[in-house]
Amino acid sequence: MFLNDVTKGADVGMPALNQLLTTPRSSPLKVVELGSGCGMVGIGLTTMVENCEVLLTDMPEAEEIILRNIAQSNSKTNSVAKFQTLDWNEPSAELCDKPVDLILVSDCTYNSDSQPALVSCMERLVRGSPDALILVALKRRHDSEAVFFELMQKAEFDSQQAKVKLPSHNDETDEIEIYCYRKRAD
């Protein structure tokens, strides 16, 4: 499963992510997933990590499938997933003011037109939670995705990265790039 591979990546090259996911906590791990799609990554996290609150966000047309998937999930003790619509161009002050420990972004860099809004949304979330980690996972499809990494650098995010090979169809594998970002300290 993808999340198991992410945690393996955390073990070998992302100590901050590993610590965040494995340290016992008295308060819930607060997670926001941007561009959740069907919610697989965020919901998967609630099935693997105890005491975890995941807010899945996407456009309104994703709500039905996400809510159906949440209803069918089997979360760990004290873990829960919820859904909220979110337009990256206009993140609500309410969302940006809530504390967050981890921001998930899975397979959202393929559309170069939306990349500036995505990075801007992450900047706003991190302003309210400067110690938040951002976990970005992607399968590169084309050269225009490099713009995302340039925007993250301009926004003063530093990263650690890992690559994971996952099974694909026809006995092939896909190389998934995983980046763990943190806002550069001033």
Share of the chain above pLDDT 70, in %: 92
Length of the chain: 186
Of 170 and 124, the one with more pLDDT: 124
> What does the mean pLDDT of the chain come to?
90
Residue 9 has pLDDT above 80, yes or no: no
What residues form DSSP beta bridges with 161? 179
| CA–CA gap between residue 22 and residue 12 (Å, rounded) | 14
Residue 22, in any domain of the structure: no
* pLDDT computed for residue 183 by the predictor: 93
Q: Is the dihedral of CA 66, 52, 180, 117 positive or negative?
A: positive
Residue 156, in any domain of the structure: yes
CATH number of the domain encompassing residue 49: 3.40.50.150
Residue 164, in any domain of the structure: yes
Q: What is the pLDDT of residues 74-129, one digit of tens each?
A: 999 999 999 999 999 999 888 998 999 999 999 999 888 999 999 999 999 999 99
| CA–CA gap between residue 157 and residue 165 (Å, rounded) | 25
Residue 16, in any domain of the structure: no
Strands of the 133-138 sheet, one edge to the other: 80-85, 52-58, 29-34, 102-106, 133-138, 173-183, 157-167
| CA–CA gap between residue 5 and residue 21 (Å, rounded) | 13
Residue 176, in any domain of the structure: yes
Could you give the angle at the alpha carbon of 78 between the alpha carbons of 127 and 81, nearest 5°? 55
Candidate from 27-31, 134-138, 165-169 with smallest mean pLDDT: 165-169
Residue 134 has pLDDT above 70, yes or no: yes
Residue 160 has pLDDT above 70, yes or no: yes
Domain count, the chain: 1
What residues form DSSP beta bridges with 183? 157
What the block records as the tokens of 88 is: 């990256």
Using a cut of 0.85, tell me whether the model's pTM lies above it: yes
Q: What is the pLDDT of residues 10-63, one digit of tens each?
A: 455 688 898 999 888 889 999 999 999 999 999 999 999 999 999 999 999 999
Residue 24, in any domain of the structure: no
Residue 76, in any domain of the structure: yes
DSSP assignments along 135-161, one per residue: EEEE---SGGGHHHHHHHHHTTEEEEE
Q: Give the domain range for residue 101.
A: 2-11+29-134+142-183
What the block records as the tokens of 163 is: 């690559």
Residue 19, in any domain of the structure: no
